[in-house]
């Protein structure tokens, strides 16, 4: 590729392609939520607009979608240098919100939601993901090879473990898994050695297996252990801990190739056989309504969004900005993989929503905030590094080499 072509692709701009893909997906999410929650009293001649008005969840999702451009615009317009210099502020604000939620939430089990004065609840663990992206991008971009010394290793891992422990105390295992995966992706693209990544992965797997073995040996009744048991043996737990997953697979299968259509009276999703089919299990509603074709179309849209982010990161020369894009990409990627896998019975249930489609204000604002961060980077990125220097040369056969050799 010529230097002129690379400079053109690295120019500062507001990426209209990413905006169009994201808001098209979000608009479809409103339709999916409406289908999952439409009134059983509606008739065949009820208009789509009336279906939306009759569903409180669809109405709220419309409100979240109307607020989304404002969230994206504010974050996109935020001073780029201030994101770098004040990353710690966002980190500690999110940590304080997590702590307040854990201490003052009187719910039994999961304590992840904080009540507001307006009757809505917010989930601080969602917003913590964005603060983690900023703080990790800042610290991983300081060195050419991060985690190469004990000081940086302890500092970076401390930033993940401290809020991670609070999230685990809340019972929000899903959000913790998202942060861990996001952290791993950011380390991979920040030039952390593959040997270090391999050792860390082995330690993580060993830790998970040890914890699981301890819980089984002690006869723990933790709901997370029950979900894993239901996933491993769904036939045995089909009427209890695996019920939701079993019904989800049945609902998706009932859609066949082209689906049963929207607002069908007596549909499995309409009769609420799948709990939370407008939030975490929205994919089962999509499978029943639009069939295999609809499910594949959703996957293609996600692939396009993720590939667009990878493309934008590829041509972002500032390592801090590049890692922000990679972090948001990793966050969305894990949400998509885990959510769809759990609805198909390929992974245990973790309560992770499907980005831009599942009902929920905190999830929608977090995802849109992440898109705002990506657009902030592309809007402010520089093309001042000379082409054909060692910093910009790359190996076309190893994608992580591209990110490694173009780092500051």
Q: Is the pLDDT of residue 393 over 70?
A: no
Q: What is the mean pLDDT of residues 140-152?
A: 82
Q: What is the pTM of this model?
A: 0.86
Q: How far apart are the first and last CA of the chain?
A: 21
Percent of the chain with pLDDT over 70: 81
At 279, list the tokens: 């939030």
Q: What is the mean pLDDT of residues 381-387?
A: 50
Instruction: Summarize pLDDT for 241-292 with one digit per residue, the tens.
Output: 678 888 889 899 988 999 998 888 878 877 778 888 899 999 999 999 999 9
Q: Is the pLDDT of residue 309 over 90?
A: yes
Number of other CB atoms surrounding residue 59 within 10 Å? 15
Instruction: Summarize pLDDT for 97-145 with one digit per residue, the tens.
Output: 888 888 776 555 566 677 665 566 778 888 889 999 999 999 998 878 7
Q: What is the mean pLDDT of residues 229-239?
A: 64
User: For residue 39, how many C-alpha atoms fall within 13 Å in the half-sphere facing its CB?
Assistant: 16
Question: What pLDDT is recorded for position 169?
Answer: 82
What is the band of 195 on the pLDDT scale with cuts at 50, 70, 90? Answer: confident
Measuring CA to CA, how many Å separate 399 from each of 89, 291, 310, 364, 377? 33, 35, 10, 30, 20
Question: What pLDDT is recorded for position 43?
Answer: 72
Cβ–Cβ < 8 Å for 94, 362: no
Question: What pLDDT is recorded for position 287?
Answer: 94
At 10, list the tokens: 């690295």
Question: What pLDDT is recorded for position 109?
Answer: 58
The conformational region for residue 345 under phi > 0 = left, psi -120 to 50 = alpha, else beta, is left
DSSP 115: E
Residue 229 sits at the vertex; the CA angle it makes with 225 and 230, to the nearest 5 degrees, is 115
Cα separation, 270 vs 177, whole angstroms? 31
Residue with token string 């409100």: 63
pLDDT, averaged across the chain: 82
Query: What percent of the chain is helix, strand and coil (3-state, nearest 5)?
Result: 65, 0, 35
Question: What pLDDT is recorded for position 91?
Answer: 92
Measuring CA to CA, how many Å separate 24 from each of 20, 27, 98, 301, 367? 6, 5, 32, 9, 14
Cα separation, 268 vs 265, whole angstroms? 9
Measuring CA to CA, how many Å separate 370 from each of 19, 132, 235, 307, 337? 12, 11, 39, 15, 18
Question: What pLDDT is recorded for position 406?
Answer: 42
Question: What pLDDT is recorded for position 222?
Answer: 64
- CB burial string 276-297: b at 16+ within 10 A, e below: bbbbbbbbbbbbbbbbeebbee
At 139, list the tokens: 């610290």
DSSP notation for 322-363? HHHHHHHHHHHHHHHHHHHHHHTTSS----PPPTTTSS-HHH
DSSP notation for 136-201? HHHHHTSSSSTT-SHHHHHHHHHHHHHHHHHHHHTT-HHHHHHHHHHHHHHHHTTT--HHHHHHHH
Cα separation, 57 vs 361, whole angstroms? 11
């Amino acid at each position: 590729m010529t230097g002129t072509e690379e400079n053109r692709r690295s120019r500062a701009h507001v990426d209209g392609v990413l905006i169009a893909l994201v808001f098209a997906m979000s608009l479809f999410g409103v339709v999916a939520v409406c289908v999952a929650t439409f009134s059983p009293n509606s008739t065949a001649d009820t208009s789509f607009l009336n279906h939306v008005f009759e569903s409180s969840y669809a109405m709220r999702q419309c409100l979240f979608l109307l607020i989304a451009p404002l969230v994206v615009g504010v974050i996109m317009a935020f001073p780029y240098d201030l994101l770098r210099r004040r990353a710690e502020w966002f980190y500690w604000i999110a940590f304080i919100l997590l702590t307040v939620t854990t201490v003052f939430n009187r719910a039994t089990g999961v304590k992840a939601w904080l009540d507001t004065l307006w009757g809505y609840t917010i989930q601080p663990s969602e917003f913590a993901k964005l603060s983690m992206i900023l703080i990790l991008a800042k610290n991983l971009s300081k060195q050419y090879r991060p985690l190469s010394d004990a000081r940086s290793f302890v500092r970076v891992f401390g930033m993940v473990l401290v809020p991670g422990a609070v999230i685990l105390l809340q019972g929000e295992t899903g959000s913790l898994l998202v942060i861990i995966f996001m952290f791993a992706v950011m380390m991979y693209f920040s030039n952390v050695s593959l040997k270090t990544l391999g050792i860390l992965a082995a330690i993580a797997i060993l830790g998970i297996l040890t914890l699981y073995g301890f819980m089984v040996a002690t006869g723990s009744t933790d709901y997370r252990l029950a979900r894993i048991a239901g996933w491993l043996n769904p036939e045995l737990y089909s009427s209890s801990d695996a019920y939701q997953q079993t019904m989800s697979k049945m609902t998706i299968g009932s859609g066949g190739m082209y689906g049963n259509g929207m607002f069908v009276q007596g549909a499995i999703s309409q009769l609420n056989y799948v709990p939370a089919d407008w939030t975490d299990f929205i994919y089962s509603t999509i499978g029943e309504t639009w069939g295999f074709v609809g499910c594949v179309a959703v996957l293609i849209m996600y692939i396009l969004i993720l590939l667009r982010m990878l493309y934008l990161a590829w041509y972002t020369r500032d390592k801090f900005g590049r890692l922000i894009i990679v972090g948001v990409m990793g966050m969305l990627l894990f949400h998509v993989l885990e959510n769809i896998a759990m609805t198909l019975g390929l992974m245990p249930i973790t309560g992770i929503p499907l980005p831009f489609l599942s009902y929920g204000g905190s999830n929608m604002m977090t995802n849109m905030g992440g898109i705002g961060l990506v657009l902030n980077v592309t809007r402010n990125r520089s093309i001042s590094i000379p082409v054909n220097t060692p910093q910009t040369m790359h190996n076309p056969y190893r994608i992580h080499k591209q990110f490694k050799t173009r780092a500051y």
